[in-house]
Amino acid sequence: MAAAAATAATKGNGGGSGRAGAGDSSGARKKKGPGPVATAYLVIYNVVMTAGWLVIAVGLVRAYLAKGSYHSLYYSIERPLKFFQTGALLEILHCAIGIVPSSVVLTSFQVMSRVFLIWAVTHSVKEVQSEDSVLLFVIAWTITEIIRYSFYTFSLLNHLPYIIKWARYTLFIVLYPMGVTGELLTIYAALPFVRQAGLYSISLPNKYNFSFDYHAFLILIMISYIPLFPQLYFHMIHQRRKVLSHTEEHKKFE
């Protein structure tokens, strides 16, 4: 789950996936790039996803202005959030068919972890939807994805404004911890309701001789943040220095 928040610094040539570790693809892979048809498709995909997350951002602002409060704003953007976050599953396909040079396994893990949080936690446990922690990760995701998909779109068009590149490799410093905090607090808030309802748990005895404790599974997910968060965060810090310092050096020679 923690890896899902690492979308602020990603890998690939602007194809809308390969989320962890931008700028560390080999030179050969960068030069190859997708073909003209794939490029056109990826531009459309990233434009649509940028627009979708902008709709979510506008929805949050409008709901806040109408209510005069930031509490329970989730309900105002629930449908577009589910739609566009689930739409990120296409990024796995992009990697699988080779139009984006990124790891299918890594991309699958990171996309699915967010989809899991949306559907298997926030959607399934209605009681947590009014928690402020949900708004925390939604805001972090929204800003991150607007920047990320804009970055991919302009990169594919070979016209990347420096401000977008800077935002992509800088704002994660705040957005990543913010998103992770919201995710953890949301899962934690869901635990008592999951235990009480026995949500998604399978008890013995049964004909398959198999048991599953969803409550314990969520606790394991929370524990996984401990080793993953520092590794990903400092990796992104390293990528930021590498990418932005390279940009500054390039500007000096122009």
Out of 183, 214, 225, 233, the active site residue is 183
C-alpha distance from residue 154 to each of 16, 50, 132, 160, 249 (Å): 12, 11, 34, 5, 21
**Measured distance CA(95)–CA(115) in Å, rounded:** 17
Residue 91 among the catalytic residues? no
Q: What is the dihedral of CA 14, 15, 18, 20, to 10 degrees?
A: 30
Out of 176, 214, 225, 233, the active site residue is 176
Residue 176 among the catalytic residues? yes
Residue 212 carries which DSSP code?
A: B
For the stretch 165-168, contacts whose Cβ atoms lie closer than 8 Å and that sit 24 or more positions apart, written own/partner, are: 165/243, 165/244, 165/247, 166/244, 168/8, 168/9, 168/22
**Measured distance CA(21)–CA(103) in Å, rounded:** 11
**Measured distance CA(223)–CA(254) in Å, rounded:** 48
The amino acid that residue 69 corresponds to is: S
Please give the structure tokens belonging to residue 204.
């013995």
In DSSP terms, 212 is beta-bridged to 202
Contact 149, 16 (CB under 8 A): yes
**Measured distance CA(234)–CA(242) in Å, rounded:** 12
Q: Give the N- to C-terminal CA distance of the chain in Å, as an integer.
A: 42
Active-site residue set? 176, 183
